[in-house]
Amino acid sequence: MAEAKTICKARGARLTPVRERVLDLLWQAHRPLRAYDLLETLAAEGFGSQPPVVYRALDFLIEQGFVHKIERLNAFLACHCPADDHGAKFLICTGCERVAEFDDKVISKALKTIATGSGFSIGRATLEVEGLCPDCSASTSGHNG
């Protein structure tokens, strides 16, 4: 949390108590959470029970690079490296919905090369790769043999 506060201060952004709590919940979870799961916890803690409460916090946290939205799951995940300006890349297990964020310079460079060759300027890139994690893959292969 100290790193997030330092980054916000340097950018002139404000990490309000609600934003801080949402970020804390996502960091503690170590997995993607849906907005309504976050809202349920916020409401129980007295932060408010209306959807805009959580969505405004999530919008801010995404804008600051602290949180990523996983479109496939309609859920949110704390960024593993919020100080870096990187495109979000995820491996998403279709079996258990486990998500692993990764950063790969080769993939980032390839996307930039493809975009530049097309005259396209990338603003933000998110790559979601679906498949099976080692645990789900092992349990699936055990059923096939």
Per residue, what are the HEC states of 75-95?
A: EEEECCCCCCCCCEEEEEECC
pLDDT of residue 82: 72
Domain holding 31, by residue range, is 1-80
* Lookup: tokens for 82: 């919020």
Average pLDDT over residues 111-139: 91
Q: When comparing pLDDT for 114 and 3, which is higher? A: 114
Q: What is the pLDDT of residues 17-35, one digit of tens each?
A: 999 999 999 999 989 999 9
The CA distance from 34 to 131, in Å, is: 20
* CATH code, domain with 91: 3.30.1490.190
Kind plus residue range of the DSSP H or E element containing 143: helix 134-144
For the chain, give the mean pLDDT: 89
Examine the domain organization and report whether 6 and 27 are in the same domain. yes
pLDDT at 145: 45
Which pLDDT value is given to residue 80? 76
pLDDT band at 85 (very low <50, low <70, confident <90, very high): low
pLDDT of residue 144 exceeding 60: no
Do 100 and 130 fall into the same domain? yes
Query: Does the structure show a pLDDT above 80 at 143?
Result: no
Using alpha carbons only, what angle is made at residue 87 by residues 86 and 93, rounded to the nearest 5 degrees? 125
Q: Is the pLDDT of residue 16 over 50?
A: yes
Whether the pLDDT of residue 98 is over 70: the answer is yes
Is this prediction's pTM over 0.85? no
Residues 6 and 57 reside in one and the same domain: yes
- What domain count does the chain have? 2
Which of helix, strand or coil describes residue 89?
strand
Tell me which of 80, 110, 135 is where a domain ends.
80
- Tokens encoding 44: 């129980």
Domain C-terminal end among 61, 80, 99? 80
What count of Cα atoms within 13 Å lies in the side-chain half-sphere of residue 94? 6
Q: Does residue 48 carry a pLDDT above 80?
A: yes
